[in-house]
Amino acid sequence: MLALAVGECRAEGERETLGLQVCSVHPWDCGKLAFSGSTPKAVPSIRLVEPTSVPETAIAYRLSLFVTNRRVERKSAGRRPAIYKMFASELSSDLAIGWVKVAFPQHRQPGDRPFTARDGMPNPLAEFAIVEHQFFGSVAELVAFASANSGQNESLIYVHGFQTRFEEAAARTVQLAHDMSFSGIGLFFSWPSDATLGRVWVNDYLNARELKEATSEDLLAVVDSFMSLSRRRTHLIAHSMGADLLLTALKSRANSTQYATTILAAPDVDMSVYRSELKRGLESASALSTIYCSAEDRALSRATSVNGEVRLGQCPASWETQQMVDLIHVVNKAPPWIDMTGWHSYFAETRAVLADMEQTLRTGGRTPRNGMQQVGGTWQLYHTADTQTGTGR
């Protein structure tokens, strides 16, 4: 079991070491370990809530590695930890590398949305909250840290899409790893995709797309360095515009299978560009890659209107069956609800998709897909009231 994985403090008086986490007496009294030579020592912990108000096992913790090409800035975060305002929505020529520890409600259900508030002190009883972080000077130091603290030889690299803040990417990575019972180590690549409130959405969207070439180069350098140094079995998951970044990076890797699993979730990718430029890179990435799409994805409908080209994540009727790629059409049969993402985050917020991704990570994908019906060249995965989640569905 991964030393950095989810942990909880036990009954009062017990002491448990979980990777870099030391829990003593109460779940809110957890601090990181600082290393002096070979002897770890406890660093004073961060108190997030009053001890009298928290059940003994109310909060869980998980660590995730990160690499970002966002510009680092020093500015006040108000009552929130400094890392919440540390990364700007601007590109940097340097990479920031490190780990974050995320606290979250212990008894949440798989697929419940990893809510992160924009203001106020983070409350891990109700949201995913970054409670600690540490920076490294290089990917090599990151890999050394992972190797020293992970008992599993697997890694999950997540690439987020448009309108995603750094802390939201951290929360999503931890949520995915936790909800899929992933025992390896998680890493997210964060890029300056978040829109600036008060500006025109279309301008922010187009500005984010302009970062594709530079960001895809950074992403490829990170993935290559991490894999060559760690020699881990690596799974890739990219969402929305992040899938475009990943496919652009994979163009230079055609005919070179490297990754255990490659998953594109709701990819915001021009269908014509995919066919002409990106298809071979995905076919070669893994023994079997998976694309999750939905015709009901309203966010991608908006992207289509801006780009003038149907998106890969909309389950295009012109899909041509690929031998090394499974296309999964997620059909929403559940009662409607208010969804601010426009049914765009279904890959992480529906139990049926989470279960399929978990199985794919374990087996590398398989055909036929369990419990699905194949229609034409696509597999049909039906999301019903019986498979919906508690909050995000």
* Residue 100, CB-side half-sphere exposure with 13 Å CA sphere: 30
CA gap 234, 154 in Å, rounded:
6
CA gap 267, 119 in Å, rounded:
30
Find, among 147, 319, 169, the residue nearest to 245 by Cα: 169
Instruction: For residue 11, give both structure tokens.
Output: 């009954």
What radius of gyration, in Å, describes the C-alpha atoms of the chain?
20
pLDDT at 392: 35
pLDDT tens string, the chain, 393 residues long: the values are 222 333 333 333 333 322 333 232 223 233 332 322 333 333 333 333 443 455 657 899 999 999 999 999 876 656 667 788 899 889 999 999 999 999 999 988 899 887 776 666 778 888 899 989 999 999 999 999 988 877 678 999 999 999 999 999 999 999 999 999 999 999 999 999 986 655 567 888 998 999 988 899 999 999 989 988 888 889 999 999 999 999 999 987 766 778 999 999 999 999 999 999 999 999 889 888 999 999 999 999 999 999 999 999 999 877 777 778 999 999 887 655 545 567 899 999 999 999 999 999 988 766 667 778 777 778 888 776 555 444 333
Question: Environment class of residue 378 by beta-carbon count within 10 Å: exposed (0-12), middle (13-18) or buried (19+)?
Answer: buried
- Specify the pairing of strand 87-105 against strand 129-136: antiparallel
CA gap 262, 378 in Å, rounded:
17
Q: Are 176 and 158 in contact (CB under 8 A)?
A: yes
Respond yes or no on whether the N-terminal peptide bond of residue 44 is cis (omega within 30° of 0): no
- Specify the pairing of strand 15-18 against strand 21-24: antiparallel
pLDDT at 212: 87
pLDDT at 199: 56
CA gap 279, 104 in Å, rounded:
38
Q: Are 13 and 71 in contact (CB under 8 A)?
A: no
Q: Are 326 and 389 in contact (CB under 8 A)?
A: no
Find, among 321, 356, 362, 320, the residue nearest to 110 by Cα: 356
